[in-house]
């Protein structure tokens, strides 16, 4: 009678070693896939928030109204579009860009709004409840984009030159021809968008 032959101990140990190496490689591969997936998800979220911000500011800019406003009864008119230089250090009392906007939806009146980079590296949207309000009426501030290292704005004048403030002189029209928005994220990406105004 023939004896049944099984695996030797060496063969079993070799098979176990090969299986454990395969398991280790598949575990490391799975870990790399999960890490890549997490990174792609974070990047996708960052770029989606950036796209939402540019959609918001572009909508606001295209609805800009050439209407000056007052900050108190009997006060002088403030230009319809007021762009301040980045070097204007006012302790966060004023937005970097401030302008009047037509209603975005039916039933909403004209609004005054502004944008500014705050100390927490967030771009804030400032919304006032209306136009021609007393100086003590403060804007409500909403963070619209986080993780911003620089927020620069330039305005296209009638000579087709970019300027850092608007208006530059009393003869300037109420609104610039276009706005160039430059954002540098804390992750070092630089994004520039030019938005033409509906004149």
Torsion angles phi and psi, residue 144, rounded to 5: -115, -15
Residue spans of the domains in the chain: they are: 59-196
pLDDT at 12: 80
Closest CA to 59 of 188, 181, 187: 181
**pLDDT tens per residue, the chain (199 residues)?**
566 677 788 888 888 888 888 887 777 777 777 778 888 888 899 999 999 999 999 999 999 999 888 877 777 788 889 998 876 555 666 788 999 888 777 667 788 899 999 999 999 999 988 888 877 888 899 999 999 999 999 999 999 999 999 999 888 899 999 999 999 999 999 999 999 987 6
pLDDT at 190: 95
pLDDT at 29: 77
| Length of the chain (residues) | 199
pLDDT at 31: 77
User: Per DSSP, what are the bridge partners of residue 126?
Assistant: 114, 141
Classified by CATH at the fold level, domain 59-196 comes out as: Pili subunits (3.10.610)
For residue 127 the two structure tokens come to 């919304």
Question: What is the rounded CA–CA span in Å between residue 59 and residue 129?
Answer: 18
Chain centroid to CA 106: how far?
26
pLDDT at 138: 87
Handedness of CA 164, 170, 172, 175 (dihedral sign): positive
Contact 186, 147 (CB under 8 A): yes
pLDDT at 171: 85
The 8-class DSSP code of residue 165 comes to S
pLDDT at 88: 58
For residue 18 the two structure tokens come to 């090969």
- Report the SS3 class of residue 64: strand
């Amino acid at each position: 009678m023939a004896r049944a032959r099984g695996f030797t101990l060496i063969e079993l140990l070799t098979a176990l070693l090969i299986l454990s190496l395969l398991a280790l490689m598949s575990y490391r591969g799975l870990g790399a896939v999960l890490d890549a997936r997490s990174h792609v998800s974070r990047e996708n979220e960052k770029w989606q928030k950036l796209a939402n911000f540019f959609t918001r500011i572009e909508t606001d800019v295209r609805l800009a109204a050439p209407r000056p406003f007052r900050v108190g009864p009997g006060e002088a008119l403030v230009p319809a579009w007021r762009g301040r230089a980045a070097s204007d250090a006012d302790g966060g009392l004023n937005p970097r860009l401030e302008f009047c906007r037509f209603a975005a939806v039916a039933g909403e009146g004209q609004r005054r709004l502004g944008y500014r980079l705050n100390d927490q590296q967030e771009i804030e949207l400032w919304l006032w409840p209306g136009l021609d309000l007393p100086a003590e009426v403060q804007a409500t501030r909403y963070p619209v984009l986080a993780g911003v290292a620089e927020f620069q704005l330039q305005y296209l004048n009638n000579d087709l030159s970019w300027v850092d403030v608007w208006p530059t002189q009393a003869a300037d029209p109420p609104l610039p021809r276009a706005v160039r928005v430059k954002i540098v994220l804390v992750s070092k990406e630089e994004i520039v968008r030019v938005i033409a105004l509906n004149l």
